[in-house]
């Protein structure tokens, strides 16, 4: 992972960590549920945005390298990996 992307991800994750700590405080202080829900939505949005950065980096580096390698097995494994990631369902 390139240094600038890594730095960006670390900044995003530290900001999210602060948001989660804020959520903990809100619960401890019995804040209004609607305010808590708004903050939860903000954290979820920040996580999705961070996931997009990681996904793009993975596609531009690891996936591209595997597909351009000419190794059919590596390409198949990469396709399988992407399909599993895209269609994984959380419970």
- 19 contact partners, CB below 8 Å, separation of at least 6: 39, 42, 43, 46
Rounded to whole angstroms, how far apart are CA atoms 22 and 3?
Answer: 29
Q: Tell me what pLDDT residue 28 has.
A: 97
Q: What is the CATH number of domain 3-87?
A: 1.20.58.1000
pTM score, two decimals?
0.81
23, pLDDT greater than 90: yes
- Domain boundaries of the chain, sorted by first residue: 3-87
Q: Tell me what pLDDT residue 80 has.
A: 94
């Amino acid at each position: 992972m390139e240094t600038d992307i890594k730095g960006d991800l670390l900044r995003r994750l530290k900001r999210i960590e602060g948001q989660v700590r804020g959520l903990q405080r809100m619960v401890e202080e019995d804040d209004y549920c609607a305010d808590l829900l708004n903050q939860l939505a903000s954290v979820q949005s920040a996580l999705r945005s961070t996931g997009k950065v990681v996904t793009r980096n993975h596609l531009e580096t690891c996936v591209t390298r595997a597909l351009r390698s000419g190794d059919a097995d590596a390409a198949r494994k990469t396709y399988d990996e992407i399909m599993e990631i895209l269609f994984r369902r959380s419970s």
